[in-house]
A and B are shown apart, each in its own frame.
Chain A
Amino acid sequence: MAVITYSQAINQALVEEMERDDRVILYGEDVAIGIFGATGGLRERYGGDRVFNTPISEPLIVGSAVGAAMMGLRPVAELQFADFIFTAGDEVFLKAGMWRFMHGGAYTLPLVVRAPSGGAGFGPEHSACPEAYIMHSPGLLCAVPSTPADAKGLLKQAIRLDNPVIFFEHKSLYGTRGEVPDGEYVVPFGKAVVRREGDAVTIVAWQNMLRRVLAAADRLAADGIEAEVIDPRTLNPFDRETIIESVKKTGACVVVEEGYRTLGVGAEIAATLMEHAFPYLDKPMRRLAIPDVPIATARHFVDRIVPTEDEIYREVKALVG
């Protein structure tokens, strides 16, 4: 197994899928250089017909992916920041999400929109993790890879799926390293993974929050609290079963997310547990999330509102300690 970065993993996924299938094309702003390193070198390798820079035209980037996909190409379009999903709201939610449905299933829309999310210091319009909006909206699959291995396997799978996928790449993870399986593999959508086993509490988290949760879980273990940590990997499809089964064992659940608290992913998980695991819950459900304010630019403000390792440790300890 090779150890590579998250951004190298994405690059490998793109290379492998472009080698396999010449219907795969890649475009977006600055993709020829790759602002976050993920797409560098691909234009040289595959030529300007398959890999090209676009103007700063987000509705065009996503809308054209819908048009190209309906004709049988498999476009991988990049929004330079995930926040620009709202700049291309019509194209993401109404076109990618609805055109197949609205036209009676007349065509498939095999497209991927890559969207770098999260991070600190980028300011309110360049820092969001808007996955809850995607999870809420019909017709859009949603991937939130946390490790290089998953980034590669999920992206390869996303490109092969016949449905639109919004693929969130967390900006704080691009430089992180991890083992990636040798040879050909994909990671299926809709299968959560248990990152750490335990019986005291179930913690659900992904991407940058998962890293903090795992660090906090080590400290909790030192205090004798064994947390079970679940990484959902995709939010649509969403593996409710793995979370429900875990909560049946632990009797407590904490969701840690980098999105806004109200109607976030945690709210959906809480409702799911009320519907399917109510008798098993010994403790009130807890959500750690951004307290419904935009993400300010000052880094120490970000630490005040995005759940930190310390906060996770304290909250979980207070709940089950």
Chain B
Amino acid sequence: MTQLLRDAYRYAVLSRKFEDRIIHMGMAGEIPPTLHPGAGHEVCQTAALAALGPDDKVLYSHRGVAYMIARGTPLTAILADIANKEGGTNRGKGGVMHVVDVPHGVLGESGTLGGGLVVCAGVAMALKRFGKGQVVAHFFGDGGSNRGTFHESLNFSAVQRLPAIFFCENNGWAVSVPTSESTSVPDIASRAHGYGIPGVVVDGNDAFAVFDAMTTAVARARNGDGPTLIEAKVVRLAGHYIGDPQLYRPDRDLAAQKDPLPGFAEALIEAGILERADLETIDAEAQAEVERAVAVVAAAPLLDPALALQDLYA
């Protein structure tokens, strides 16, 4: 666990620095500004993913790039997907939202919110049939949880006792709509009771708590006991999209004070997992890795438009 959480912190820092650079380049018009910034969510995402094994599968949400980083997808591939350059994963078809890395278990993302939930059930169905104890985790937002597919997937996965973890990152917002306007209960996880499966609310800013909740859910799934719904309360530090002025959002100054990343560092130091001196090293290494990726992708050629006609049929 020590090593896993140390890595989770490293990935969270790397993701933050990488996204800052992506946002900067996006605002400057150097690359398309297509990222939905993950700032505020990374600690939760990387801590949750730390509980998965290398053979497990992930379907992720649109909120940032920490998911793929934590699974081991190279930064160059992610940036190339954003920049429509050679060296990416989806050859110009999906951009940053559909980074795919099958060897690392990264299966993709649904452009339609909630669309991944039913796909996740099918992945879980296959994993159950293979009988090797693999699990799939699906990350989605509070907004996505209001789709009918949420009901269908949780019900079916519960009936079939599928090895799936449904992980809701509740940041209180779906673009400009607060959950109080869209969602009938304060805790989305409470809906799990309607499906007879565990529903767990966890503080998404507390990496240790997220890791624990996820570890329990993964063990349950591996054991053949079925799915779990985890709801992590997180904070969306940035706008919905790059350049979102967030005029609709009265809490944005307050939210900005709640960056979970420094808190994660402190908790790791307190637990004796990191030394204070490590923080600077981690920061410096992350920044260097980001700059290396930026340089590689800057030199890569733009994708050949002939690819627009390829990859539809096998």
- The chain A residues found within 8 Å of chain B, CB to CB, are 25, 49, 52, 54-55, 57, 59-60, 62-73, 75, 90-91, 94-95, 99-110, 138-139, 162-163
Contact = CB atoms under 8 A, between A and B. Distances in A.
Interface residues of B, number: 44
A59 B148 contact: yes
A91 B147 CA distance: 13
Nearest to A141: B313
A94 B88 CA distance: 22
A138 B312 contact: yes
A163 B314 contact: yes
Given A66-B119, A73-B126, A95-B119, 8 more contacts: A60-B153, A67-B118, A69-B122, A95-B118, A100-B314, A101-B93, A103-B107, A104-B90
B100 A71 contact: no
Contact of B121 (A60, A102, A139): A60
Interface stretch (B109-117, B218-226, B261-269): B109-117
Contact of B120 (A59, A67, A108): A67
Contacts of B311: 100-101, 104-105
A71 B121 CA distance: 12
Nearest to A67: B122
A108 B108 contact: no
Interface of B: 57, 88-94, 98, 100-102, 107-108, 110-112, 115, 117-127, 129-130, 148-149, 152-153, 155-156, 159-160, 310-314
Contact of B123 (A55, A60, A67, A139): A67
A95 B110 CA distance: 8
A268 B98 CA distance: 33
Contacts of A102: 90, 93-94, 98, 108, 111
The dominant DSSP class at the B interface is helix
Nearest to B125: A68
22 contacts: A59-B118, A59-B148, A60-B156, A63-B115, A63-B119, A64-B119, A67-B121, A67-B122, A69-B122, A70-B107, A70-B119, A72-B126, A94-B112, A102-B108, A103-B93, A104-B90, A104-B92, A104-B100, A105-B91, A106-B100, A106-B102, A107-B107
Nearest to B97: A102
Contacts of B111: 94, 102
B69 to A, nearest CB: 18
Contact of A55 (B155, B310, B312): B155
Contacts of B160: 52
A75 B122 contact: yes
Given A55-B156, A57-B152, A60-B152, A65 B122 contact: yes
Contact of B115 (A52, A65, A94): A94
B115 A49 contact: no
A103 B118 contact: no
Given A104-B91, A106-B90, A90 B98 contact: no
B118 A60 contact: yes
Nearest to B307: A104
Contact of B156 (A57, A68, A70, A105): A57
Q: Which of A62, A64, A75, A94 has the most CB of B within 10 A?
A: A64
Nearest to A107: B102
Contacts of A139: 312-313
Contacts of B115: 63, 90-91, 94-95
A54 B100 CA distance: 29
B129 A73 contact: yes
B110 A67 contact: no
A53 to B, nearest CB: 10
Contact of B126 (A55, A68, A99): A68
Nearest to B155: A55
B121 to A, nearest CB: 5
A299 to B, nearest CB: 34
A101 B108 CA distance: 12
A71 B149 contact: no
Contacts of B118: 59-60, 62-64, 66-67, 91, 95
A95 B111 CA distance: 9
Contacts of A103: 89-90, 93-94, 98, 100, 107-108
Given A70-B107, A138-B312, A55 B90 contact: no
Nearest to A63: B118
Contact of A104 (B94, B117, B121): B94
